[in-house]
Amino acid sequence: MAEDKIPMNEKDNKNFSPKFFETETKVGTFQKAIHWITSFLEMALTILLVVGILLTFVHVPSLLGDILSVSPSGLIDLVNYVAIIIIAIELIHVLNSQNLESVIEILMLAFTRELVIREWSMWQLLVGVGCIAGLFAIKKWLLSKEH
């Protein structure tokens, strides 16, 4: 009896899905197919990225050997290589989670990698650090989690 008095939209909040997935017309079927295809492609790309990351670990021992050489470029090459692997791993996270916070995290990693690896002028470094600070501010104040 109490359920009869609850408005229809409050009952549906538990199992919410967009209206276009509920339609049984040709358009709804087409949209379901597009959704399935894009989900499949995302999963395929994720699997390819994981395989690529695993294959890149073959080169890490040779880069570790280059660190022992006289030039400091071996260490920079290793840092660059590991940073690229970390960004690829975060890209997999973005593909699977699809939320704004993970996108901001990958942007912070990419900016940080560029700031560390490349040689920039002082003004360019200042702008880069400002971009990272802006991303941290967005993450902290605009993407606050509900408790």
How does pLDDT run across 4-26, given as a tens digit for each residue? 554 555 444 455 455 545 555 66
Average pLDDT over residues 104-118: 84
Average pLDDT over residues 68-90: 77
- pLDDT for 134 equals 92
| Residue 79 pLDDT class (50, 70, 90 cuts) | confident
Is the pLDDT confidence value at 41 over 50? yes
Sign of the CA dihedral 11, 14, 18, 20?
negative
> Can you list the positions of beta strands (E) in 1-147?
none
The label of the residue with tokens 């079927």 reads: 29
Sign of the CA dihedral 79, 100, 42, 14?
positive
- pLDDT for 133 equals 92
- pLDDT for 21 equals 52
- pLDDT for 22 equals 53
Q: Rounded to whole angstroms, how far apart are CA atoms 96 and 40?
A: 12
| Residue 147 pLDDT class (50, 70, 90 cuts) | very low
- Greater pLDDT, 126 or 11: 126
DSSP H helical segments within 57-99, as ranges? 60-67, 73-97
Q: Are 45 and 34 in contact (CB under 8 A)?
A: no
